[in-house]
Chain A
Amino acid sequence: SQQGEEDPQALSIQEGENATMNCSYKTSINNLQWYRQNSGRGLVHLILIRSNEREKHSGRLRVTLDTSKKSSSLLITASRAADTASYFCATSHNTDKLIFGTGTRLQVFP
């Protein structure tokens, strides 16, 4: 299966701490994307990193990509209670399809 795997499955932290989530995948990719999902809602796109990029920033988000290890990480700095959600990585493999990982459930306590 091409599906990515996020690690950890669940993460609980205090407000102000940093949250790091990891994603591993199995085949070569065009790009890797991270999405956020609030409970019972649709997913919202956060950031896209291409296969020839190694790091990307967007506000409090930092994404890294290591194609040699087939892995990516999402760092949320100075977390807030409003960051509580599930986070998914998704990979594109030379087609129009996006294959999603299993997600990390992040709980940020005030």
Chain B
Amino acid sequence: SQTIHQWPATLVQPVGSPLSLECTVEGTSNPNLYWYRQAAGRGLQLLFYSVGIGQISSEVPQNLSASRPQDRQFILSSKKLLLSDSGFYLCACQTGGNEKLFFGSGTQLSVL
């Protein structure tokens, strides 16, 4: 079965600094990949999803971008972080026509 690696677990960054969060998937190929953000005590907001290499769909206008340079690698980036970018970022994958999502363990980002 698939395994999702997401790192780091915790990140504290100053306002205006760049960001790169990486998610890699093992044990499957051709997954759909997703980035979600969760504010404290709230639901999940879909940020980006990708159905293949180089294919990115953005769900909300924002300060973030995503890239998929390899089949099982999904990267979330920002050139200059804002305070409002703070939150819990979750990577998820969906494979083989299976409709359920498998989630990584998340990255808690604090922008100060």
Say yes or no: A97 contacts B49, CB within 8 Å. yes
CA distance A43 to B46 in the complex (A): 14
* Contacts A40-B108, A100-B36 given; does A45 touch B101 at CB 8 Å: yes
Say yes or no: A40 contacts B106, CB within 8 Å. yes
Say yes or no: B36 contacts A96, CB within 8 Å. no
CA distance A25 to B25 in the complex (A): 31
Say yes or no: A42 contacts B104, CB within 8 Å. yes
Interface size class of B (residues with CB under 8 A): 20 to 34
Does A60 reach chain B (CB closer than 8 Å)?
no
- Chain A residues whose C-beta falls within 8 Å of the C-beta of B46 in the assembled complex: 97-100
CA distance A42 to B102 in the complex (A): 9
Does A48 reach chain B (CB closer than 8 Å)?
yes
**Of the candidates A3, A40, A43, which one forms a contact with B101 in the assembled complex, judged by CB atoms under 8 Å apart?**
A43
**Of the candidates B42, B51, B102, B103, which one forms a contact with A103 in the assembled complex, judged by CB atoms under 8 Å apart?**
B42
* Contacts A40-B106, A42-B90, A96-B94 given; does A102 touch B100 at CB 8 Å: no
**Of the candidates B43, B92, B99, which one forms a contact with A3 in the assembled complex, judged by CB atoms under 8 Å apart?**
B43
- Chain B residues whose C-beta falls within 8 Å of the C-beta of A40 in the assembled complex: 88, 106, 108
* Contacts A3-B43, A43-B90, A88-B44 given; does A96 touch B104 at CB 8 Å: no
Say yes or no: B100 contacts A45, CB within 8 Å. yes
Does B13 reach chain A (CB closer than 8 Å)?
no
- CB nearest neighbor in B for A88: B43
- Chain A residues whose C-beta falls within 8 Å of the C-beta of B100 in the assembled complex: 33, 45, 48
CB-contacts of A53-95 with B (<8 A):
88, 90, 92
Say yes or no: A41 contacts B101, CB within 8 Å. no
A-B contact list, 21 entries, CB within 8 Å: A30-B99, A40-B106, A40-B108, A42-B90, A42-B92, A42-B104, A43-B90, A45-B100, A88-B43, A88-B44, A90-B101, A96-B32, A96-B49, A96-B94, A97-B34, A98-B101, A100-B43, A100-B44, A100-B46, A101-B43, A102-B42
* Nearest 5 Cβ contacts at the A-B interface: A42-B103, A102-B43, A100-B44, A45-B100, A43-B103
